[in-house]
A = this chain, B = another copy of it.
Amino acid sequence: MKIRGYHTDRFGHVNHARYVEFLEEGRWIYFEENLLMSPFHEAGIAHVVANLNINYRRPAVVGDILRVETDIMSVGEKSVVMLQEIFKDEGRILVLDASVTDVFIDAKTDKVIPVDDRLLNIWPDLQEKVHP
């Protein structure tokens, strides 16, 4: 995505809230590319962000082209932590890195779902990050 004037504040920097939208966009794209949207929906599983931890490294300015990379960082008993990095200058400069902790919720009962076989079947890439 390309940075426009309306993304930036009066110092010409992309503001903090806007990055949170870029990270959310990155997670949507990850879910789409990994074909997770429909299976989660059909299984009646929602997920919510429980923690968002962002390290702002370098400012992004108008004209910068940002790339968001999203991957699984670790898998706990009741949560999955995603690692997200935003780069500019064709990946040479790290703008920020973030960890995002997702918790899964049964859409009917509103109860937290553990990261068990049901989830691993939908999202097989979790398997390799599960702590043994």
Contact = CB atoms under 8 A, between A and B. Distances in A.
A54 interface: yes
Contacts of A18: 17
Interface stretch (A19-27, A81-89, A116-124): A19-27
Nearest to A32: B2
Task: Say how many copies of this protein the assembly contains.
Answer: 4
A43 interface: no
Given A53-B53, A55-B50, A56-B48, A6 B17 contact: yes
Contacts of A5: 9-11, 15, 24, 28
A11 B54 CA distance: 24
A62 interface: yes
A24 B20 contact: no
